[in-house]
Amino acid sequence: MGCLMPKVSFLAHGIGIETDELPFIADRQKMKLQEGMTFAFEPKIIVPDEGLAGLENVYLVTKDGIESLNTATEELVIV
């Protein structure tokens, strides 16, 4: 049985004073990443009539790339 997956509008959003603020990492986003920006990456999978699963990890843009600000491990845990 095949199903069409709804598309989420963004993969990540900036963190600051507001909960979800610019910049967003999404299709057609043209804002360039700059050192010092923080992002919450929120990959999700939506299964129609079943539910949604996702996670949210926070990263800082540095001069050398990105740095994880998460305190928990990012490895897959099977329960």
pLDDT in tens, 8-64: 666 777 787 766 676 777 777 777 888 998 888 877 777 888 888 777 888 999 999
State yes or no: pLDDT of 1 exceeds 50.
Answer: no
> What letter does residue 76 receive in the DSSP assignment?
-
Instruction: Give the model's pLDDT for residue 62.
Output: 95
Instruction: Give the model's pLDDT for residue 6.
Output: 55
pTM of the predicted protein model: 0.65
Instruction: Give the model's pLDDT for residue 65.
Output: 93
Locate the domains of the chain by residue range.
Answer: 12-68
